[in-house]
Structure 1
Amino acid sequence: MSHFKRAGNVDSLAGFRTPKPEAAVPYGLLKAARKSGLLNLSGRGLTEVPQNVYRLNIDDPAEAQENVSFRGSDRWWEQTDLTKLLLSSNQLTQLSEDIKLLPALTILDDLSNNLLKHLPSSVGRLSALQKISLCHNKLSSLPDGLGQLANVKLLDCSHNQLTDVPVSLAGMLALQQLYLQHNKLRRLPQLPAPALREVFAGNNQVELLEAEQLSCLSAVTLLELRDNKIRNLPEELALLLTLTRLDLSNNDISTLPASLSLLPNLKVLLLEGNPLRGIRRELLAKGTGDLLKYLRGRIKEEAEGAAGPTAMTLPSEGLVNTHNIKTLKMLEYIDKQAASVPDEVFDAAAHQAITSVNFSRNQLTAFPPRLLELHSSLSDINLGFNRLSCCSADICSLQQLTHIDLRNNQLTDLPSEMKNLSKLRCIVLNHNRFSSFPEALYQIVTLETVMLGNNQVGGVDPSRLMQLLSLSTLDLSNNDLLNVPPELGLCTSLRCLSLEGNPFRTPRAAIVAKGTNAVLEYLRSRIPT
């Protein structure tokens, strides 16, 4: 009897029925997303986002009607809100206004590498968002509603067709990184965002830098304007006192204002590909330090010319630029090939709140001990191009440090005490003798930029790098990396990862050449599941 009962349940027409189409988003994936808060729909060929994705946290799941179970894995009523939605590398042409039904989203990454032409205004309702990536789409404008997203720290709109950026984006009060490369912008956006630190606006059609736009960049440390059509640099650039890197490569600039040399924190000035007049090519080849020194010399010549033949040079001014000390709070003793810094240099800075010190291009073999006299104010120190074989633990007494430049020395390690530099954001260690990633750096959670190119580093620990939540730039080029751990792809805060010039075989050079996003995506795809 039981045999015939089983036979009676067989569908004899099964072979003739049209199979039901497979759901665009498997139900198991949605079920897992209710538990984890993460839904990854990248690379699924989607032309639209299924409605059940938008309603994921509104509609009861199917198991609510099917059964009631108290097993831990089936407690559908204990679902968590969706916080991360990944939609990149699909064929989306639009996003529904129903995106507002996912108000707990913190990351919408996502949307890159699609065919979007516009965004719904309801995106502005996603008040918890901290990161939005819209790169590689066909956007010609951005909705004003984006300005309501006061918690967004990173906005990537690169590789689109934007001709302007709405002023309403000034409401993004937490915005730190703005990516606008490869669009059709004719002017910089006027965004008085108080936290904005990095602006990437290369490969656009910007012709003129205006004072109104520059005045909004008072806290910017990195400004990238390469491959535009800029002809002149206004004097207002000298007001960007926090600027450390300025990329003006491949523009139409013919002259440089001497006031550029007054930027107290400028470390990198890139000018290749401009028709500059009056500046020798070999001077440009020497690097930023020499170029700024030349521009400062022009200011000094102009000042001496204005003072007339009766001007006098005090003995102390033979060693130190007292104008820089008093006005810019900058102490310099550079390119002297000296084995030590004379006491007269420090004496000239007595009772001054010095914020920046540059003792580069000398023959220093030890940390100048009198630097400790500046511990209450010193935030930026440059000891590059010296002969330091070790970094003294005394540097850790300079608790206000935000930038350290130790490039082109003979360092093999850093003191463990450096982990106590609680304000350090940038450290430059290129062209030294490190064989491993310095242990102390893993513990400085404020780090945003680590430059370790041209050393002998053999490996990094991605699990510890992931704890550096602010790290956006990591230069490991020209080292001894035999392999790149796939878990490095989980360091999602990275916006610039340099790996070229290492002996690893994967990722291939073609992938590395595509840039940071492609490398990170490749590495994530190699993580064992």
Structure 2
Amino acid sequence: MSRLKGAEQRDSLAGFRADKKEPSIPSGLLRAARLSGQLNLSGRGLTEVPQDVYRLNTDPPQEAQQDVSFGSSHCWWEQTDLTKLLLSSNQLTQLSDDIRLLAALTTLDLHDNQLRSLPSALGELQELQQLRLSHNKLTSLPIEVCTLKNLCSITLQQNQLESLPDEMGHLEKLTHLDLSHNHLKELPMSLGHLGSLQKLNVCHNQLSCLPAGLAQLTNVKLLDLSNNQLTDIPASLSEMSALEQLYLRHNKLCVLPKLGAPTLKELYVGNNCIEEMRTEQLAPLTAISLLELRDNKIKILPEEISSLNTLTRLDLTNNDISTLPASLSLLPNLKVLLLEGNPLRGIRRDLLTKGTDVLLKYLRGRIKGDPESAEEGHTAMTLPSQARVNVHNIKTLKSLAYSEKQAVDIPDELFDAAADQGVTTVNFSKNQLTSIPPRLTELSASLSDINLAFNRLTCCSPDICKFLQLMHMDLRNNQLRDLPSEIKNLNKLRSITLNYNRFTWFPDVLYQMVSLETVLMGNNQVGEVDAHRLKMLVNLSTLDLSNNDLLNIPPEVGLCASLRCLGLEGNPFRTPRPAILAKGTEAVLEYLRSRIPK
């Protein structure tokens, strides 16, 4: 009986079972790879890399065993080494040491897999220039990767990295390093030795401080430190002499960093705890063009802000500012001033909704002796035509303006003058336009800000999807009822203003645009909002739905954790009650969360 019992435990069919079948790659694909040096196996559901791939350069191909005609246009003996291997979007959990057999690789793409570790043999790929490892499950990086002297770009975002090897500084040719969306609590000191680095992204980590060596990165143009735990930014960052864009959003900064980087053009410090701006913090910003201070606790703007002569965009959305200094109107290049969500007093509400030009004109009127009519005359920088093209603004400020003309179309002279000038801002507001000017697409490569407010637009052309650099769009006071689905391609769009239109629902396409931070839809006829889809807009901090036709507010709206300013006044719903709305956004969201069924 015991012998029979033991037999039951054994697999009686084991000898008849086939060995685990190795994934196969079509021979034609391998043959083409031998000729081109490139092999694309992305999205094939692979759980492991077939041996055929690793041994592509070492084993003779199948053709070598056959009677191959010497007249063939593709001869197996003319094969080239594999230099580019794409394995993205598979289910790879590991990489074999046999990767060393592909010593000629210059590009290895492994992003969007299930890798938890990397083999040390990766260090033998000394020709490697690009290594893509994003969207995996890596918790560490082998030291051997730091020996890849020719590596120019390594992308490691969306992993589970908790630390980096000190030897990272040995990658002397590295120009692009992306470490975003990991679990890093500190950066190695040796990072400062990456003398060729131009872009460094460490956003969405757990950094509480920065290494002193970071200041040695004198070639870095873009530094993204957003969504960390930073409470202070060392003044030594001013030594980063090439720095143009610095992102510090969503940290724990209490003061505006004092940064004197001579080339700093864009500074993003939104969603922190900054309460004041001092003269010594503003004075070093000699080249600043864009200053974002939204979602802080700033109460007072110093008069010295007028010294920022190069400033074109100032975002002060959702602060505690009650008064504006008249000197703000003296900023010669300021084109966009955002003040939504501030408890401003002494300034009529309608002035704030009429745009930057009107507000600055009002502030200038408070300065004695300011000749407001000086702008009305012709200057040497305008052309003698109806368009009155301001060539200076186009060439120097990269701004194309033709507003308050009550025009039904935009003169060709403007577009002719703006051709090949890299225009970034267009203001065609307060006219009689019924559609987006077709020639506007000629500026699509550089345009980041479009103002078409106060016109008669009844629809938004699908051509809007061509403006891939667009970050801000103002379409208020038109006759729009919907937005084209193509607008979802604008993955850099951060704010859209749709107040005073004819929307009866929240545009479906906006739910798909995760880059959005500000959506203003007050004074429409919106009847409902999808809270579950709204939660997907993880960057949305300002949402204005005031004066619409909302009969109820879904309690799940309270789960929109990123919201800092929610406008709901003037809707016919019964709850939340006006008394709760008056307490502000935080109280409204807390009330809504309490109503979610448990």
Q: Given the two structures, how large is their TM-score scaled by the length of structure 1?
A: 0.59
The 5-angstrom pairing of residues 13-412 of structure 1 reads 130=204, 146-147=208-209, 153=227, 166-168=232-234, 175-177=248-250, 188-190=256-258, 196-198=268-270, 204=275, 208=279, 210-212=281-283, 214=285, 220-223=291-294, 228-230=299-301, 232-245=303-316, 249-251=321-323, 253-259=325-331, 261-268=332-339, 272-273=344-345, 287-292=355-360, 314-316=383-385, 319-412=388-481
Work out which structure has the larger RCO, using CA pairs closer than 8 Å and 6 or more positions apart in sequence: 1
Match for residue 49 of structure 1?
none
Question: CA 1:211 to 1:371, structure 2 compared with 1: closer, same or farther past 3 Å?
Answer: same
User: SS of the counterpart of 1:198?
Assistant: coil
Question: CA 1:478 to 1:179, structure 2 compared with 1: closer, same or farther past 3 Å?
Answer: farther
Q: Distance in 2 between matches of 1:396 and 1:281?
A: 33
The CA deviation string for residues 158-206 of structure 1, in whole angstroms up to 9 with x for no partner, is xxxxxxx6445999x86413577xxxx8x7443789873425668x565
Equivalent pairs, count: 375
Q: Distance in 2 between matches of 1:515 and 1:281?
A: 18
Post-superposition offset of 1:255 = 3.6
Residues 225, 249 of structure 1: 8 Å contact kept: no
Look up the equivalent residue of 1:250 and give its one-letter code: S
Match for residue 498 of structure 2?
429
Q: Distance in 2 between matches of 1:174 and 1:313?
A: 37
Question: CA 1:402 to 1:227, structure 2 compared with 1: closer, same or farther past 3 Å?
Answer: closer
Match for residue 470 of structure 1?
539
Larger displacement relative to structure 2 (332-341 or 285-294)? 285-294
Question: CA 1:299 to 1:357, structure 2 compared with 1: closer, same or farther past 3 Å?
Answer: farther
The CA deviation string for residues 412-451 of structure 1, in whole angstroms up to 9 with x for no partner, is 1111111122221111101111110001111122212111
Question: CA 1:423 to 1:262, structure 2 compared with 1: closer, same or farther past 3 Å?
Answer: same
Look up the equivalent residue of 2:208 and give its one-letter code: L
Q: Distance in 2 between matches of 1:492 and 1:337?
A: 42
Q: Distance in 2 between matches of 1:271 and 1:527?
A: 30
Match for residue 498 of structure 1?
567
The 5-angstrom pairing of residues 417-456 of structure 1 reads 417-456=486-525
The CA deviation string for residues 92-129 of structure 1, in whole angstroms up to 9 with x for no partner, is xxxxxxxxxxx99xxxxxxxxxxxxxxxxxxx969999
Residues 228, 250 of structure 1: 8 Å contact kept: yes
Aligned-residue sequence identity (percent) comes to 51
Post-superposition offset of 1:155 = 6.6
Question: Which stretches in structure 2 are left out of the alignment for 5+ residues?
Answer: 1-160, 163-183, 188-201, 212-223, 238-245
Is the radius of gyration larger for structure 1 or structure 2?
2
Question: Which stretches in structure 1 are left out of the alignment for 5+ residues?
Answer: 1-102, 105-123, 133-144, 157-164
Residues 503, 525 of structure 2: 8 Å contact kept: yes
User: SS of the counterpart of 2:268?
Assistant: coil
Question: CA 1:294 to 1:273, structure 2 compared with 1: closer, same or farther past 3 Å?
Answer: closer
Q: Distance in 1 between matches of 2:381 and 2:312?
A: 30
Post-superposition offset of 1:207 = 6.4
Question: CA 1:346 to 1:267, structure 2 compared with 1: closer, same or farther past 3 Å?
Answer: farther
Look up the equivalent residue of 2:432 and give its one-letter code: Q
Residues 231, 254 of structure 1: 8 Å contact kept: no
Post-superposition offset of 1:516 = 2.3
Q: Distance in 1 between matches of 2:409 and 2:353?
A: 27
Look up the equivalent residue of 2:292 and give its one-letter code: T
Q: Distance in 1 between matches of 2:376 and 2:186?
A: 58
